[in-house]
C-alpha cells in the first residue's frame, strides 16, 4: 500500500498513476470521491451544512477500476460522471465540501476498502495521515503554488500570463488554505513520509523517483519473525533497513514469470529444435522486412491465430533474427504441466486467464512493454476454428494505447493446414508463410484517420480500409458488426473509451487481414466468403 499525498496539481495523480502502471499496481485518486459528491450535491442543491443528505450521496458514488487497474471511471447511481467531476465549478466548490467531517468519515471505509487487498497506489491529501496510516510507503509530493498553477493552466491550454491563469493561481491558493487549515484530516505531510519536490524536476524523473522508492520498499527483506512493529521508525529509515511489512514484496513474488529480455541458451536451443522439426513438416517462409522491427524498445507483435503452430513458428524463426526474445501471454493452463510450465517460464511465456478480464495478466503485459521488451499477442484471444480471422477482443488496443508501443502486425498463412485444430501432430504441408507487416503506432493511424474527416471516412468505408474503424467510433457500424457503444449493463459509462478501443482493434485487425489471403481474412476482409 503506497500513500501519495500533496496539494492540488502537485502531480500526485499523473505521477502516481504512471508509477503504478509501470509496477503493475492499482491506482486510486481519492479526490475523485470528493469531487463526485461535490458534483452530485451541486446538482441537487445540497449545501455543505445539509450533512445528512450529503452523507447519503456517498452510497451512490462508485469508482470503477478499468482493465489496467486504474480507478478511472466515476459513476453516480450508475451514470458516468467522469467528465463532470473535473469541471471548473466542481474545482471551485470541492474543498468546501471536503472539510465536512461527516462526509470524510463516510468516505473513509470506501477508500480503505479499495486499499485492503494491497498492491495499490492511493493519492489524496490525508492518505498517509488518516486513510492508510500503516502504508508501506508514504510519499509527499510538493511544488510551489506558482509552479502548480502554471502546470494546471498548461493542462487546460491557458496562456501563462492571462487573466484565467491568474484566477487559477488564486483558486489554488484558496484551496490550499482550506485543505490545510480544516480541522479534520488537514493536508499535512505524515511524519514518516518521504518528500519529493517536483518544482524543477521533469515528469519522467519524478515518476522514476517514485518507482525507485516503491521498488526499494518491495525489495527490502521481510522480518523473519513477522512482528516488527510497523510504525516503529520513520519510513525513510525503514527503507534503508529491514523490517518492512513485505506486502509489496509478496505481491512482486506472485508475478511468477520472468520477462525474457535476452536470448538465453534455453531459448536458443528451443528455437533450434523448433526449426529442425518444422523443416520436417513444411517449408517456413518469412516474408516482409524483419529489419523494420526495432532491436530495442517496446514492440507489440499482433498476429492471427489459426493453429498451435503459430507461436512456435513466430518465436522459433524470429527470435534469433531479432536478437532478442519475444514475450507471450499464454493460457494459464500451460502452467499446470510440470515440464511445459518450466519451459514456458524460461521461454518468456506469461500466464493469462482467458475466462475473465485478467487484470493481473494485463499488468504483466504492460510491464513487459513498459520495460521496453517485445510482447507477442493474438488479438482474437483464441485459435480460430477454421483459419479465418475472428472478431478480436479489445485488450490489444488497450495495451497499445496505454503503452504507446510500436505495433508489428503479422499474418501467419496456412498454419491451420499444417496443424489443424484437434490434431495431435502436424500434417505435412508444402509451405507456411509468416508475413511481417509494416510497423505502426496506433495513435498515429487513428489521428490520421480522424484528420481525414468525414468525407474521406465515407470513401474509406467504401474501400474497407482501417478508417472504417474510426467510422465505428463515430457511430457507424463496422463491417464485422462489432458495436460496443454501451456496456453490458446498458450504462453509457466509459462509452467513448470503449468506442476508441473498438476503433483501435479494428485498425490492428485490418492490418493483419491485409497480410492474409482472402481465405483467411474472415471478419476483417472485404471478401466475406471464399
Which parts of this chain interact with ligand DC (CB under 6 A)? 8, 30-31, 34-35, 94-95, 98, 124-127, 175, 179
Q: Among residues 30 and 373, whose Cβ is nearest to ligand DC?
A: 30
Partners of residue 326 on adjacent β-strands: 374
Please report how close the Cβ of residue 363 comes to ligand DC at its closest, in angstroms. 24
Please report how close the Cβ of residue 267 comes to ligand DC at its closest, in angstroms. 46
56-61, Cβ contacts within 8 angstroms, sequence gap of 24 or more: 58/33, 58/103, 58/106, 58/107, 58/110, 61/33, 61/36, 61/37, 61/110
Residues 57 and 151 sit within 8 Å (Cβ to Cβ) = no
Q: Among residues 74 and 436, whose Cβ is nearest to ligand DC?
A: 74
Residues 395 and 379 sit within 8 Å (Cβ to Cβ) = yes
Please report how close the Cβ of residue 244 comes to ligand DC at its closest, in angstroms. 24
Angstrom distance (rounded) from CA 100 to CA 147: 29
**Backbone Cα Rg of the chain:** 26
Residues 16 and 123 sit within 8 Å (Cβ to Cβ) = yes
Q: Among residues 37 and 300, whose Cβ is nearest to ligand DC?
A: 37
Q: Among residues 119 and 124, whose Cβ is nearest to ligand DC?
A: 124
Please report how close the Cβ of residue 9 comes to ligand DC at its closest, in angstroms. 7
Q: Among residues 81 and 397, whose Cβ is nearest to ligand DC?
A: 81
Please report how close the Cβ of residue 81 comes to ligand DC at its closest, in angstroms. 14
Please report how close the Cβ of residue 35 comes to ligand DC at its closest, in angstroms. 6
Among 396, 368, 367, CA closest to 305: 396
Please report how close the Cβ of residue 181 comes to ligand DC at its closest, in angstroms. 12
Angstrom distance (rounded) from CA 24 to CA 22: 6
Q: How many CB atoms lie within 10 A of CB 503?
A: 28
- Helix 101-115 vs helix 31-44: angle between axes, to the nearest 10 degrees? 140
Q: Among residues 8 and 471, whose Cβ is nearest to ligand DC?
A: 8
Among 393, 363, 365, 368, CA closest to 381: 393
Q: Among residues 188 and 346, whose Cβ is nearest to ligand DC?
A: 188
Please report how close the Cβ of residue 175 comes to ligand DC at its closest, in angstroms. 5
Q: Among residues 34 and 71, whose Cβ is nearest to ligand DC?
A: 34
Angstrom distance (rounded) from CA 124 to CA 188: 11
Which grid cell sits at 20? 503504478
Amino acid at each position: 500500500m503506497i500513500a501519495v499525498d500533496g496539494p492540488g496539481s502537485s502531480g500526485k495523480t499523473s505521477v502516481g498513476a504512471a508509477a503504478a502502471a509501470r509496477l503493475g499496481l492499482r491506482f486510486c485518486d481519492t479526490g475523485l470521491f470528493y469531487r463526485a459528491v461535490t458534483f452530485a450535491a451541486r446538482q441537487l442543491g445540497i449545501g455543505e451544512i445539509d450533512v445528512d443528505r450529503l452523507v447519503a450521496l456517498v452510497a451512490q458514488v462508485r469508482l470503477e477500476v478499468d482493465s489496467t487497474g486504474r480507478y478511472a471511471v466515476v459513476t453516480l447511481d450508475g451514470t458516468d460522471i467522469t467528465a463532470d467531476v473535473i469541471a471548473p465549478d466542481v474545482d471551485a466548490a470541492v474543498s468546501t465540501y471536503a472539510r465536512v467531517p461527516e462526509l470524510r468519515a463516510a468516505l473513509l471505509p470506501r477508500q480503505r476498502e479499495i486499499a485492503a487487498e494491497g498492491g495499490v497506489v492511493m493519492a489524496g491529501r490525508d492518505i498517509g495521515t488518516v486513510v492508510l496510516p500503516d502504508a508501506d510507503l508514504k510519499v509527499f509530493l510538493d511544488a510551489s503554488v506558482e509552479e502548480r498553477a502554471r502546470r494546471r493552466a498548461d493542462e487546460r491550454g491557458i496562456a501563462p500570463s492571462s487573466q484565467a491563469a491568474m484566477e487559477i493561481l488564486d483558486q489554488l491558493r484558496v484551496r490550499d488554505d482550506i485543505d490545510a487549515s480544516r480541522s479534520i484530516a488537514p493536508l499535512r505531510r505524515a511524519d514518516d513520509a518521504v518528500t519529493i519536490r517536483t518544482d524543477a524536476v521533469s515528469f519522467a524523473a519524478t515518476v522514476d523517483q517514485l518507482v525507485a522508492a516503491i521498488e526499494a520498499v518491495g525489495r527490502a527483506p521481510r522480518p523473519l519473525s513477522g512482528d516488527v512493529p510497523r510504525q516503529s521508525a520513520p519510513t525513510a529509515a525503514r527503507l534503508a533497513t529491514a523490517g518492512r511489512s513485505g506486502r509489496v514484496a509478496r505481491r512482486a513474488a506472485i508475478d511468477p514469470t520472468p520477462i525474457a529480455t535476452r536470448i538465453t541458451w534455453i531459448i536458443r536451443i528451443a528455437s533450434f529444435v523448433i526449426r529442425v522439426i518444422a523443416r520436417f513438416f513444411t517449408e517456413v517462409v518469412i516474408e516482409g522486412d524483419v529489419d523494420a522491427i526495432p532491436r530495442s524498445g517496446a514492440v507489440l507483435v499482433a498476429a492471427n491465430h489459426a493453429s498451435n503452430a503459430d507461436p512456435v513458428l513466430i518465436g522459433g524463426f524470429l527470435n534469433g533474427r531479432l536478437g532478442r526474445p519475444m514475450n507471450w501471454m499464454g493460457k494459464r493452463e500451460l502452467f499446470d504441466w510440470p515440464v511445459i510450465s518450466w519451459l514456458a517460464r524460461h521461454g518468456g511465456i506469461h500466464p493469462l486467464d482467458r475466462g475473465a478480464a485478467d487484470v493481473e495478466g494485463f499488468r504483466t503485459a504492460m510491464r513487459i512493454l513498459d520495460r521496453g521488451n517485445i510482447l507477442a499477442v493474438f488479438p482474437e484471444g483464441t485459435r480460430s476454428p477454421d483459419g479465418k480471422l475472428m472478431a478480436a477482443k479489445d485488450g490489444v488496443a488497450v495495451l497499445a494505447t496505454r503503452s504507446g508501443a510500436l505495433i508489428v502486425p503479422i499474418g501467419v498463412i496456412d498454419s491451420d493446414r499444417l496443424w489443424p485444430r484437434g490434431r495431435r501432430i502436424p500434417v505435412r504441408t508444402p509451405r507456411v508463410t509468416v508475413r511481417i507487416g509494416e510497423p505502426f503506432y496506433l495513435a498515429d493511424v487513428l489521428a490520421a484517420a480522424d484528420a481525414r474527416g468525414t468525407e474521406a471516412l465515407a470513401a474509406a468505408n467504401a474501400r474497407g480500409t482501417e478508417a472504417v474503424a474510426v467510422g465505428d467510433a463515430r457511430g457507424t457500424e463496422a463491417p464485422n458488426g462489432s458495436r460496443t457503444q454501451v456496456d453490458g449493463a446498458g450504462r453509457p459509462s466509459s462509452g467513448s473509451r470503449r468506442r476508441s478501443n473498438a476503433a483501435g482493434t479494428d485498425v490492428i485487425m485490418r492490418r493483419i487481414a491485409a497480410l492474409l489471403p482472402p481465405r483467411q481474412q474472415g471478419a476483417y476482409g472485404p471478401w466475406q466468403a471464399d
